[in-house]
C-alpha cells in the first residue's frame, strides 16, 4: 500500500527532500528552509497526497495559511491536484479557522452565535469610551497605544487575570489591567470580540471543555502550518492543544523570514519545535526554485549580516540572470517616475503587469506610486479604480481640470504639458523640473519663471507662455462659470477635443464619447473640487478584477508571494530600516528589518530593483535622507549601483543621462570624499541659489551661453551680457561664478 502511495504522480513534481516531507504523514515534521525552496508547495502537495492516498478525508485536515489570499491560492492548487471540486475545507488563516470554531461554541464564552468581530477602528473607539469613563487622559495614554498592550497580551494567550501586575505598573495611571478587564466586559456586552479574542476564546473552550477539544483533535487528523516562524504564543498553544493527541503536525517556515515580532510573533516557536514534538523529523530544503543566481546571492549576502539566525545553505540551478539594480534618485517623486518608466519598459518587453510588484516598507509610500501609476495609466491593485477613470482621455481631461483647480498639481502638469503636442519638448521640461527642484516650487511656477527668460529657445518659450496664459484664463473663468462649462471650454480651447476629432484611429469616437460622459458625471457634483475629490476616492476603491494588474503592497503583506519583477523603493535610513524598529528594539529590531529586506528581495524571480531617494517628504516636510545601510550590505558582485544625477546640476547635461557607478567606485569615491551625505555626489559645480550671491558686474559662466557679466539682478533672475551670445535673461541657478569654473 505504502509503495503504491509513493507512486502517486504528483510526487514526480517534487525533489527528494520535498517528497520526504510530503510522504512523512505520521508524527511531527518541520520543514525549515529558506525562501523559495518550495515549503508552501510541500504543504499543498501534502494536502493533496493525504487525500489521494486515502489516508485522510478532505475535512480531516486543518491547514493554516498566513493570509486569506494564500488560502485561496492553496485551495485552487489543491483542487487542480486532486481534480475535483472541494468545499468546506478547514483551510485558512488562524483568525478564520478560530472564528469558525468559535461560532459553534460561542455561548460557552458568553457570546451569541452571531457575534461581531470588531475592526481596529471600533476597538479604538470602544477603548476610548472606557478611558474617558475612567478619567484617563487620552493625551497621556492614547487609546491606540494601550490597545496594543492589550493585543500583545492576547497574542501571548493572557486573559486579564493572567497578566502579572508587574507588567502593567505605571501604565494608564496604573489602571491598565482594570481597563483590559472592562474592555473584555464591554465586548461581551456588545456581543463582539476583537481579533485576538478569536484565539483566546478558542483556548478557553479547549482548556475548559475537554470533550470539545477531543472532538476537534479527533476530527483534525492532520495539521499543517505555513509560515510557522511568525506564529505567536496564542496560536502556538492552539496548535499544540489540537495536535497533542496524535502529534501529526507538519509546520514549514524560515527563521530568516520572521517579520512579525512587532505583532507578537515568537521566533522561538520554530526554534523549539523539536523540543515540543520529540522525534520530529526536521527536513531542510536547499534548492531555491524561484530566483535567478544574482537575486538569490544578493538576498543571502544581506541576511548573512544577521547574527541571530540558524543559517542555511541555498542554491539555485537557475542562471545568474541580471544583477540587482540599485538606483539612487533625487527625491521620492523621481523614484516613482523612474519606477513607472521601468514598468512601462518591462511592459513593452511583454512582461504582464500581474507579474510585477512594488513593495514598500511603510503604508504612506504607496501614495506616490498610486498617483504616478494613475498618471501613467498603469493599472494597479490592491487599490485599483473604476475602469472609466482609468482611460487615457479621461485621465488627460482630469489632469487639465486638476491644473485649473490647483496650479501646483505637478502630476497633472506633467501629463498634459505637451498633450496635445504644442512644441514643449524634453529640454524645456528638463529645465522646468530642474528649476522646480532647486527652488522647491511647483512645475507651473517654474514654467512661469522660465518663460520670462532666455533659458529656452524662443519657440519653446512662446509655446510655454501660451500654455500658461490658457491655464490662467481658465482659472479666472472657473471662478465665474459652472464647472461643467469650464470643462467644455478647457477641452475645446486646449485643442484636446480636436486632437481626438482629428485622430483617425477607430477608438477615437469612443474616446470622444467618454469625454462627454465625463462632463455628465461632473454634473452630479456641486463644483470642481467635489468632483475631483470624488474621483480620487473612486480610484481608491478595491478592484476585484485582479487580472493583469500591478501590485503595490507593503513588504509585510508580500510574504510567500512571488513576482517576475520586484521594485523595492525607499531604502533609506529611518524608513528602511524603520526608525521605530531601531528605537524600540535596538539590534533585534534592526535584524527584523533586515529579514524584511530579505523577504523583499526573495520575492523576485528575474528582476529586482532597489531604490533610494536623497530627498523625501515626511509629514509634509522635505528631508534629506541617507541610503539604507542595507544597500552597503548587498554583495558587490551581485549588484549594480546607479546614481541618477541628471537633476543634481545642469553641468551634467552634456553627459549621459545616467551615471552608472559600481559599488567599488562608490566606495572609493566615498573615501575621496567626493560623495556627501553618504551618497550625494559633492560636485563643486553645484551650489544652492543664495540670494544676493550675484551682484552687478560679476563674471559668470552659463552652460549654454558661455561667459558673461551680470548687468541686473532681480531675485533669482539675472540679466547677463554674454561675451558671445549677447544679452540674456537667465536664472541664477543655471550659472556659476566664473572663478569657480
Shortest CB 546 distance to Mg ion, Å: 19
The answer to the question of residue 35 lying near ligand ATP (CB under 6 A) is yes
The answer to whether 330 and 647 are in contact (CB under 8 A) is: yes
38 forms part of the interface with ligand ATP (CB under 6 A): yes
Contact 594, 305 (CB under 8 A): yes
For residue 15, state whether it binds ligand ATP (rule: CB under 6 A): yes
Under the binding rule (CB under 6 A), the answer on residue 719 touching ligand ATP is no
The verdict on whether 685 is a catalytic residue reads no
Residue 545 phi/psi, 5-degree rounding, is: -80, 100
CA-only gyration radius of the chain, Å? 30
Which long-range contacts does 196-200 make (Cβ < 8 Å, 24+ apart)?
A: 196/150, 196/151, 196/154, 196/155, 196/234, 197/154, 198/94, 198/95, 198/98, 198/99, 198/102, 198/117, 199/94, 199/95, 199/98, 199/154, 199/157, 199/234, 199/235, 199/238, 200/154, 200/157, 200/159, 200/234
Is residue 560 a contact point for Mg ion (CB under 5 A)?
yes
CB of 265 to ligand ATP, least distance (A): 15
Question: What is the DSSP-derived secondary structure letter of residue 657?
Answer: S
Region of 37-45, 143-151, 270-278, 449-457 interacting with ligand ATP (CB under 6 A):
37-45
SS3 274: helix
Q: Find the shortest distance in angstroms from Cβ 527 to ligand ATP.
A: 49
Catalytic residue among 194, 197, 226, 371: 226
Selected range binding Mg ion among 171-179, 417-425, 443-451, 560-568, rule: CB under 5 A: 560-568
Classify burial at 165, counting beta carbons within 10 Å of its beta carbon; exposed 0-12, middle 13-18, buried 19 or more.
exposed
Q: Using the minimum distance from each CB to ligand ATP, give the nearer residue, 76 or 665.
A: 76
- The crossing angle, in degrees rounded to 10, of helices 579-601 and 293-303 is 150
Could you give the maximum distance between any two Cα atoms of the chain, in Å? 99
Lookup: cell for 231: 506564529
Of 659, 635, 640, 641, which is closest to residue 649 (Cα–Cα)?
659
Reading the block at residue 407, the C-alpha cell is 496650479
Q: In the block, which residue shows the cell 514598500?
A: 360
Shorter beta-carbon distance to Mg ion: residue 75 or 379: 75
For ligand ATP, the binding residue among 230, 254, 255, 370 (CB under 6 A) is 254
Q: Which residue is nearest to ligand ATP (CB)?
A: 38
For the chain, the distance separating the N- and C-terminal CA atoms, rounded to the nearest angstrom, is 85
Closest separation in Å from C-beta 40 to ligand ATP: 3
Question: Using the rule CB under 6 A, which residue among 21, 28, 29, 37 binds ligand ATP?
Answer: 37
CA torsion angle 703 706 710 713 (round to 10): -20
In the complex, minimum distance from the CB of residue 40 to Mg ion, in angstroms, rounded to a whole number: 3
Q: Are 713 and 737 in contact (CB under 8 A)?
A: no
- Among residues 175, 168, 189, the alpha carbon closest in space to that of 115 is found at 189
Only one of the segments 14-22, 115-123, 450-458, 707-715 lies at the binding site for ligand ATP (rule: CB under 6 A); that segment is: 14-22
Q: From the CB of 47, what's the least distance to ligand ATP, in Å?
A: 13
* Binding region for ligand ATP (CB under 6 A) out of 7-15, 318-326, 535-543, 716-724: 7-15
| Closest separation in Å from C-beta 21 to Mg ion | 13
**Active site residue: 18, 25, 40, 235, which one?**
40
- Give the interface segment with Mg ion, choosing from 112-120, 399-407, 556-564, 727-735 (CB under 5 A): 556-564
227 is catalytic: yes
Count Cα atoms within 13 angstroms, Cβ side, for 649: 18
Stretch that binds ligand ATP, among 21-29, 30-38, 430-438, 482-490 (CB under 6 A): 30-38
- 190 phi and psi, to 5 degrees? -90, 5
Residue 37's binding partner among ligand ATP, Mg ion, none (Cβ under 5 to 8 angstroms by kind) is ligand ATP
Strand 287-288 and strand 61-64: the pairing is: unpaired
Question: Binding ligand ATP by CB under 6 A: which of 17, 46, 75, 290?
Answer: 290
d(CA 198, CA 220): 19
Task: State the Cα–Cα distance between residues 147 and 172, nearest whole angstrom.
Answer: 11
The rounded distance, in Å, linking the Cα atoms of 516 and 487 is 10
Q: What's the closest the beta carbon of residue 283 comes to Mg ion, in angstroms?
A: 15
Q: Which of 151, 229, 257, 326 is catalytic?
A: 257
When the beta carbons of 41 and 702 are compared against ligand ATP, the nearer one is 41
Lookup result for grid cell 503504491? 4
Beta strands at 90-92 and 61-64: parallel, antiparallel or unpaired: parallel
289 or 315: CB nearest ligand ATP: 289
Q: Cβ distance 328 to 643 under 8 Å? A: yes
Site for Mg ion in 38-67 (CB under 5 A): 39-40
Nearer to ligand ATP, 294 or 483 (CB): 294
Q: Which is nearer to ligand ATP, 37 or 428 (CB)?
A: 37
Catalytic status, residue 39: yes
| Closer to Mg ion by Cβ: residue 66 or 183 | 66
Does 36 engage in binding with ligand ATP (CB under 6 A)?
A: yes
Q: What's the CA gap between 109 and 474, in Å, rounded? A: 65
**Per-residue x/- marks for ligand ATP, 561-600, CB under 6 A?**
-x--------------------------------------
Which of Mg ion, ligand ATP, none does residue 18 bind (CB under 5 to 8 Å by kind)?
Answer: ligand ATP
Is residue 41 a contact point for ligand ATP (CB under 6 A)? yes
Examine residue 289 and tell whether it contacts ligand ATP (CB under 6 A).
Answer: yes
Please say whether the beta carbons of 326 and 610 come within 8 A: yes
Q: Judged by CB, which is closer to ligand ATP: 40, or 716?
A: 40
Q: Is 16 a catalytic residue?
A: no
CA distance 611 to 174: 45
Strand 116-117 relative to strand 604-618, pairing: unpaired
Residue 14 or residue 243: which is nearer to ligand ATP going by CB? 14
- Residue whose C-alpha is closest to residue 458's, from 470, 469, 450: 450
Q: Least distance to Mg ion from the beta carbon of 230, Å?
A: 11
Closer residue to Mg ion (CB): 31 or 568: 31
Residue count at the site for ligand ATP (CB under 6 A)?
Answer: 18
Is 76 catalytic? The answer is no
Unique residue bearing C-alpha cell 521601468: 342
Segment near ligand ATP (CB under 6 A); pick from 8-16, 456-464, 636-644, 694-702: 8-16
453 is catalytic: no
Stretch that binds ligand ATP, among 33-41, 333-341, 511-519, 647-655 (CB under 6 A): 33-41
Of these residues, 197, 227, 448, 573, which one is catalytic?
227
Query: Active-site residues: which are they?
Result: 39-40, 226-227, 257, 603
Interface residues with Mg ion (CB under 5 A) are 39-40, 560
Interface residues with ligand ATP (CB under 6 A) are 13-15, 18, 35-41, 254, 257, 289-290, 560, 562, 602
Amino acid at each position: 500500500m505504502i509503495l503504491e502511495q509513493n507512486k502517486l504522480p504528483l510526487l514526480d513534481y517534487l525533489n527528494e527532500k520535498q517528497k520526504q516531507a510530503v510522504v512523512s504523514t505520521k508524527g511531527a515534521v518541520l520543514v525549515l528552509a529558506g525562501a523559495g525552496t518550495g515549503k508552501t508547495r510541500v504543504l499543498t502537495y501534502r494536502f493533496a497526497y493525504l487525500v489521494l492516498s486515502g489516508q485522510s478525508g478532505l475535512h480531516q485536515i486543518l491547514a493554516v495559511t498566513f493570509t486569506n489570499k494564500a488560502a485561496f491560492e492553496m485551495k485552487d492548487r489543491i483542487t487542480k491536484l486532486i481534480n475535483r471540486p472541494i468545499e468546506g475545507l478547514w483551510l485558512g488563516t488562524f483568525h478564520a479557522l478560530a472564528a469558525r470554531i468559535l461560532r459553534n461554541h460561542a455561548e460557552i464564552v458568553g457570546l451569541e452565535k452571531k457575534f461581531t468581530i470588531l475592526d481596529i477602528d471600533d476597538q479604538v473607539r470602544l477603548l476610548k469610551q472606557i478611558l474617558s469613563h475612567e478619567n484617563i487622559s487620552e493625551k497621556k495614554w492614547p487609546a491606540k497605544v494601550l490597545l496594543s498592550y492589550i493585543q500583545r497580551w492576547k497574542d501571548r494567550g493572557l486573559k486579564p487575570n493572567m497578566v502579572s501586575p508587574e507588567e502593567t505598573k505605571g501604565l494608564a495611571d496604573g489602571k491598565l489591567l482594570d481597563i483590559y478587564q472592562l474592555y473584555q466586559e464591554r465586548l461581551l456586552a456588545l456581543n463582539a470580540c476583537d481579533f485576538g479574542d478569536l484565539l483566546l476564546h478558542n483556548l478557553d473552550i479547549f482548556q475548559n471543555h475537554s470533550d470539545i477539544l477531543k472532538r476537534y483533535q479527533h476530527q483534525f487528523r492532520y495539521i499543517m502550518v505555513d509560515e510557522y516562524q511568525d506564529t505567536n504564543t496564542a496560536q502556538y498553544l492552539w496548535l499544540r492543544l489540537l495536535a497533542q493527541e496524535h502529534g501529526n503536525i507538519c509546520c514549514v517556515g524560515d527563521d530568516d523570514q520572521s517579520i512579525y515580532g512587532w505583532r507578537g510573533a515568537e521566533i522561538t516557536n520554530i526554534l523549539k519545535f523539536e523540543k515540543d514534538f520529540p522525534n520530529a523529523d526536521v527536513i531542510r530544503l536547499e534548492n531555491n526554485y524561484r530566483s535567478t543566481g544574482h537575486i538569490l546571492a544578493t538576498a543571502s549576502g544581506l541576511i548573512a549580516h544577521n547574527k541571530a539566525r540558524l543559517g542555511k545553505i541555498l542554491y539555485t540551478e537557475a542562471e545568474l540572470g541580471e544583477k540587482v539594480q540599485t538606483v539612487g534618485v533625487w527625491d521620492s517623486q523621481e523614484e516613482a517616475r523612474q519606477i513607472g518608466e521601468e514598468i512601462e519598459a518591462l511592459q513593452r518587453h511583454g512582461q504582464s503587469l500581474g507579474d510585477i510588484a512594488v513593495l514598500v516598507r511603510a503604508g504612506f509610500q504607496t501614495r506616490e506610486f498610486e498617483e504616478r501609476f494613475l498618471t501613467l495609466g498603469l493599472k494597479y491593485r490592491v487599490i485599483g479604480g473604476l475602469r472609466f477613470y482609468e482611460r487615457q482621455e479621461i485621465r488627460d481631461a482630469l489632469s487639465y481640470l486638476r491644473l485649473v483647480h490647483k496650479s501646483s498639481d505637478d502630476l497633472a502638469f506633467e501629463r498634459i504639458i505637451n498633450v496635445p503636442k504644442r512644441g514643449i519638448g524634453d529640454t524645456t521640461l528638463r529645465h522646468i523640473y530642474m528649476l522646480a527642484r532647486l527652488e522647491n516650487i511647483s512645475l507651473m511656477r517654474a514654467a512661469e519663471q522660465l518663460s520670462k527668460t532666455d533659458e529656452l529657445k524662443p519657440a519653446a518659450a512662446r509655446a510655454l507662455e501660451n500654455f500658461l496664459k490658457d491655464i490662467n484664463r481658465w482659472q479666472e473663468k472657473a471662478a465665474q462659470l459652472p464647472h461643467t462649462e469650464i470643462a467644455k471650454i478647457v477641452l475645446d480651447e486646449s485643442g484636446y477635443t480636436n486632437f481626438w476629432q482629428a485622430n483617425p484611429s477607430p477608438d477615437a469616437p469612443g474616446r470622444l464619447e467618454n469625454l462627454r460622459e465625463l462632463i455628465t458625471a461632473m454634473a452630479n457634483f456641486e463644483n470642481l473640487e467635489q468632483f475631483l475629490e470624488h474621483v480620487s476616492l473612486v480610484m481608491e476603491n478595491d478592484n476585484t478584477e485582479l487580472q493583469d494588474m500591478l501590485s503595490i503592497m507593503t513588504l509585510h503583506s508580500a510574504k510567500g508571494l512571488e513576482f517576475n519583477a520586484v521594485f523595492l523603493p525607499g531604502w533609506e535610513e529611518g524608513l528602511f530600516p524603520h526608525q521605530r524598529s531601531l528605537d524600540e528594539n535596538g539590534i533585534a529590531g534592526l535584524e527584523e528589518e533586515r529579514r524584511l529586506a530579505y523577504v523583499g528581495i526573495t520575492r523576485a524571480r528575474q528582476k529586482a530593483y532597489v531604490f533610494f531617494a536623497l530627498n523625501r517628504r515626511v509629514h509634509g516636510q522635505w528631508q534629506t535622507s541617507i541610503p539604507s545601510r542595507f544597500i552597503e550590505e548587498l554583495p558587490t558582485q551581485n549588484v549594480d549601483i546607479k546614481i541618477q544625477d541628471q537633476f543634481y546640476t545642469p553641468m551634467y547635461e552634456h553627459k549621459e543621462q545616467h551615471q552608472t557607478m559600481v559599488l567599488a567606485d562608490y566606495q572609493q569615491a566615498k573615501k575621496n570624499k567626493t560623495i556627501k551625505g553618504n551618497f550625494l555626489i559633492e560636485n563643486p559645480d553645484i551650489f544652492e541659489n543664495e540670494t544676493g550671491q550675484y551682484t552687478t558686474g560679476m563674471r559668470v559662466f552659463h552652460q549654454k551661453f558661455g561667459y558673461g557679466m551680470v548687468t541686473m539682478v532681480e531675485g533669482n533672475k539675472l540679466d547677463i551680457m554674454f561675451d558671445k551670445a549677447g544679452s540674456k535673461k537667465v536664472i541664477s541657478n543655471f550659472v556659476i561664478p566664473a572663478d569657480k569654473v
